[in-house]
């Protein structure tokens, strides 16, 4: 069958409000100065610009003061793990990256440029980002499939002296930790007394596990599609081998549902399905974070029959674990002090600040603030900036 003309297809798509909103893209570049006459032109461009260029050539650090670099982030993807859509390629990933740039600007006044790379090789991604890095004050990695995403981030952090942050990992981890801190407070238990099970050993599952370990979780075990991850299990890649060494002290070897018996916390990041019986088998005052989108591992109304606190990744249920609560403020704080990196302590500080926004309003249906709470980004950015100074990665 012959393909329909592109114009007819586009016209019909515009009947959908999502397509209508996206027509022409969601972001643009705007100038911050006016060019009204020859004098303005001579300052904004030649010959005035040459004086600024010469000064930066002599003192490269001046680029932070006299260009947009100090307030701009590259949003980088290869399109291999986009939302719940999977490997859809760089062109199809652009609407998501534009959206990310939009959120940076709307929530923290950070300028961001979406960069969808037509390559999936780790060496090629790293080389490309390193070559582009002088144009940016930070790099936000997005929707790069595991386990390559771990190597890409690790190598870029070694090679660059600007913040590198894989939001799928660390944004999710920060918000999850903040929500869990408040859920633990609500149920009267310290993190150190909790036993958690994390379903999913991809980018977000690994990062959530790591930040919970950093924050002092009592015990934590992780599962993948083949069951619990434990030392001695064959078929583990290096990332999962490291998890096996640092988690699952009891050596659980069964399924996720078997491991949930008596557990205090479930964090779902796998897209799998849990039975109501598995939730019912958890400890009293259980905490269930069923975060897979668009379909949680267990329906929140079912989980609420047995759990004290339930959270999802969806906006149509209470307690949404949404990365937008983290990444704008994290980069705002890092850029404000011209940080050379985003440390683990900075992530934990961000989570603590986010949790504190809830304050005395804490309840089973309010353990994490709304993305539209205007207190969020300032609180997170202040905590990140302060911790950067404490950690010695701030340059101002």
Sequence spans of domains, the chain: 22-162, 169-197+229-238+251-396
- The dihedral built from the CA positions of residue 107, 113, 119 and 121, taken in this order, carries a sign that is negative
Any binding-site annotation on 248? no
Cβ neighbours around 139 below 10 Å, total? 26
pLDDT value of position 186? 98
Any binding-site annotation on 168? yes
Burial tier of 358 (Cβ tally within 10 Å: 0-12, 13-18, 19+): buried
What fold does the segment set 22-162 form as a domain? Rossmann fold (3.40.50)
- Mean pLDDT across the chain: 95
pLDDT value of position 12? 84
pLDDT value of position 9? 66
Taking the CA atoms of residue 359, residue 361, residue 364 and residue 367 in that order, the dihedral angle to the nearest 10 degrees is: -40
Q: Is 45 a catalytic residue?
A: yes
pLDDT value of position 84? 78
Any binding-site annotation on 293? yes
Rounded average pLDDT over 143-161: 96
Please tell me which residue in 45, 105, 226, 389 is annotated as part of the active site. Answer: 45
Total residue length of the chain: 396
Given the DSSP bridges, would you call strands 227-228 and 219-224 parallel, antiparallel or unpaired?
antiparallel
What are the tens digits of pLDDT across the range 301-359?
999 999 999 999 999 999 999 999 999 999 999 999 999 999 999 999 999 999 999 99
Any binding-site annotation on 224? no
pLDDT value of position 5? 45
Q: Is 100 a catalytic residue?
A: yes
Q: Is the pLDDT of residue 11 over 80?
A: no
What are the tens digits of pLDDT across the range 177-226?
999 999 999 999 999 999 999 999 999 999 999 999 999 999 999 999 99
At the top level of CATH, the class of 169-197+229-238+251-396 is: alpha beta
Please tell me which residue in 4, 26, 66, 100 is annotated as part of the active site. Answer: 100
pLDDT value of position 304? 97
Q: Is the pLDDT of residue 1 over 80?
A: no
């Amino acid at each position: 069958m012959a393909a329909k003309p592109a114009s007819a297809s586009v016209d019909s798509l515009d009947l959908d409000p999502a397509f209508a909103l996206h027509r022409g893209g969601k972001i643009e570049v705007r100038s911050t100065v006016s060019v009204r006459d020859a004098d303005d032109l001579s300052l904004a461009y030649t010959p005035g610009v040459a004086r600024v260029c010469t000064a930066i050539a002599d003192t490269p650090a001046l680029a932070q003061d006299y260009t947009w670099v100090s307030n701009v982030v590259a949003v980088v993807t290869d399109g291999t793990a986009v939302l719940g859509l999977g490997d859809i390629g760089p062109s199809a990933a652009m609407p998501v990256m534009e959206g990310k740039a939009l959120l940076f600007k709307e929530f923290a006044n950070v300028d961001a440029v979406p960069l969808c790379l037509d390559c999936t090789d780790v060496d090629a991604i790293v080389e490309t980002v390193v070559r582009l890095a002088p144009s940016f004050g930070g790099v936000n990695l997005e929707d790069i499939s595991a386990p390559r995403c771990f190597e890409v981030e690790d190598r870029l952090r070694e090679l660059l002296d600007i913040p590198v942050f894989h939001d799928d990992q660390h944004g999710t981890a920060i918000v999850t930790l903040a929500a869990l801190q408040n859920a633990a407070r609500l149920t009267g238990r310290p993190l150190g007394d909790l036993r958690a099970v994390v379903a999913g050993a991809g980018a977000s599952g690994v990062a959530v596990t790591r930040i919970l370990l950093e924050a002092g979780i009592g015990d934590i075990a992780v599962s993948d599609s083949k069951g619990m991850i434990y030392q001695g299990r064959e078929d583990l890649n290096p990332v999962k081998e490291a998890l096996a060494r640092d988690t699952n002290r009891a050596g659980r070897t069964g399924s996720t549902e078997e491991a949930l018996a008596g557990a205090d916390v479930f964090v779902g990041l796998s897209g799998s399905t849990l039975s109501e019986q598995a939730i019912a088998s958890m400890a009293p005052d259980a905490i269930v974070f069923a975060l897979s989108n668009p379909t949680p591992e267990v329906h929140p109304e079912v989980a609420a029959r047995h759990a004290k606190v339930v959270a999802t990744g969806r906006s149509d249920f209470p307690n949404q674990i949404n990365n937008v609560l983290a990444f704008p403020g994290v980069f705002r704080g890092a850029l404000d002090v011209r940080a050379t990196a985003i440390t683990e302590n900075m992530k934990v500080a961000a989570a603590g600040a986010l949790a504190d926004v809830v304050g005395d309003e804490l309840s089973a249906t309010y353990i994490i603030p709304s993305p539209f709470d205007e207190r969020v980004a300032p609180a997170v950015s202040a905590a990140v900036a302060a911790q950067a100074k404490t950690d010695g990665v701030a340059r101002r």
